[in-house]
Structure 1
Amino acid sequence: MKWQALRAAAVLGVSGLLVTGCSDSEGTKPSDHPPAATAATSDAVTSDAVTSDAAASDAAASAPSAEPLSAKAQAAEKVKLAVEKRISADERQFGSGGNSPCSTSSPQMFTATCKAAADATSDAAGLALTEIDGRQGFATLDSVARKLQTAARTYHTLGCATGPTAADTRTACLEPAAVIAQGFQDLRGGANAGLAGK
């Protein structure tokens, strides 16, 4: 009997140790002792995030920033838009180049129709000069506009629109009429040259 009591006590003692060991193992909070693999993964992710942020920051610093248009470029764009709007409307009404009533091959060159086109061209040239307003970088447009105004004045002074019969007068009308016929296209070219500061 004594031997059986000792045996039972020994069994109970071992069982108690086993239960206590399991209890301690299960009672530990996961957050108290994170697995080594989880901790390593977390460190790697944090390191990658820092590296990624640093790379993005470096890329942003090295990327060229879009520079705003300079005051000169803005002025050139403004002049171009104003001139283009005007000459486009006049071109629709009068045509230009070979389609202009002032073309030297046009039967309307010595008529009031060419005179009206000459006036419109001169007005468009005047608008261009007003838009330029003494600014630098519009040498081509300035030259074209002044040449057009001179041509229109010469056309009027010679009386080209009245159908002159004198051969010398008719011959003298050819040059200003040709300049006027090409006027809208030349103004457009001058406005475009202004974008390049010419």
Structure 2
Amino acid sequence: TGRMPFSAKGDLLYIHILEEEPEYPSYVSATAKSFVSGLMTKSMRDRLDFGFDGSGLVRPKPQNKSKRTVGKRSSMNRHGYTVRTHPFWDDFEWTKLETFSMAAPFTPSFRDFADTNNFITYDDDSNNDVSFMMGENQQQSFTPSQRGYTLKDVNVAGKKRFSTDTSEMEKLFKDF
């Protein structure tokens, strides 16, 4: 929906998360609500997951959709589904994903492999809660490449952590 499920400042945000249920816009389908609510269920035992026994990691077998209902019970959780078997994903082509034959829904453009301009930047001046962690005088509303830094400039404890030779990366991504 493009917005956070809960909003408040300070401790009130934690109270909302622990005690309230999110509100969904009217255009969100019942299946989507069931899926998202299943991920955010407060009780870990009832939460929609990948299955404690690993069964959620296996591609679901095709089922008769008319026999499935959102919210049916099973021993796994109150939803009766794992993340992959939830009806939200009924039309998703898991085989294409697993065989890397699915087209990407979005392909970002970039100048080079160290370009971070596709990342969202936030004006942290409007969020004073974060400023104490980052320092008052830091450039907080820019990504590293917008400040002129690239991954090649990063040093950790005096040791270069990223190579300045991009030929290896160019080989890996030549088809993209």
Report the TM-score, using the length of structure 1 for normalisation.
0.17
Larger radius of gyration: 1
Does 1 or 2 have the higher relative contact order (CA < 8 Å, sep 6+)? 1
Report the TM-score, using the length of structure 2 for normalisation.
0.19
